Amino acid sequence: MPRRPLTNPRKYATQERSRATVDTLIEATARILVREGFDKASTNRIAEKAGVSVGSLYQYFPCKEALVAAVIDRHQQQLMQIVRDALADVAALPMEQAVRRLVTVAIEAHRVDPKLHRVLAEQLPRTGRLENVEVFNRETYALFRAYLEAHRDELRAVDLDLAAFVCVTSIEALTHTAVLHHPEVLSDEAKDTLVEEATRLVVRYLS
């Protein structure tokens, strides 16, 4: 049985210069994944793209899988911050306005770099980052449940834990599947229709 590759960094950058090196390596990895794919990525290719020596790369990352994992971690952190900010922004809004805003934010987040999103989705099992996705999902469920709790007077009688799961999963499934398989519905011409249909789906479920 082949040994699973190490996907954690060798060490974490603490000084400004070393953080800049790590950032450059992660950015270079992301660009290569999008343009050339995982199989053509290599530590030599990534180091060359980043403009650093391969020795410097190995100071921080043991293999290319660790670099891909770092790209995934950064991508997930960025998405989670977008979700936190959006839910904070809609906390006082009526349900329909809040849901429309959340759906819009989810779609816009997935439109930022859809090619990278597709590649990273393919690499999640390889890098062992599925557990991180579950952590991301649990936090999103909790944040949305808190919104529902604060707006109970707008809801039908419903289990809030289940409702948060259904709503968040529906929005994520729609946007994620659009990125992977139906990018045409995320185009400038079509995305407003997707927002309206997804909003109707969630609001009618909750009302």
Q: Is the predicted pLDDT of residue 95 greater than 50, yes or no?
A: yes
Question: Given this model, what pLDDT does residue 2 score?
Answer: 46
Residues 152-164 have a mean pLDDT of 95
pLDDT digits over 102-116, tens only?
999 888 887 777 778
Torsion of CA 100, 147, 84, 140, to 10 degrees: -90
DSSP notation for the chain: -PPPPP-S-SS---SHHHHHHHHHHHHHHHHHHHHH-TTT--HHHHHHHHTS-HHHHHHH-SSHHHHHHHHHHHHHHHHHHHHHHHHHHTTTS-HHHHHHHHHHHHHHHHHSSHHHHHHHHHHHHHHT-HHHHHHHHHHHHHHHHHHHHHTGGGS-S--HHHHHHHHHHHHHHHHHHHHHH-GGGGSTTTHHHHHHHHHHHHHHHH-
Which residue ranges does the chain devote to CATH 1.10.357.10? 72-206
User: If one looks up domain 72-206 in CATH, what number appears?
Assistant: 1.10.357.10
Structure tokens at 72: 């995934």
Confidence of residue 78 (pLDDT cuts 50, 70, 90): confident
User: If one looks up domain 16-65 in CATH, what number appears?
Assistant: 1.10.10.60
Question: Given this model, what pLDDT does residue 5 score?
Answer: 56
Which residue ranges does the chain devote to CATH 1.10.10.60? 16-65
Mean pLDDT score of the chain: 86
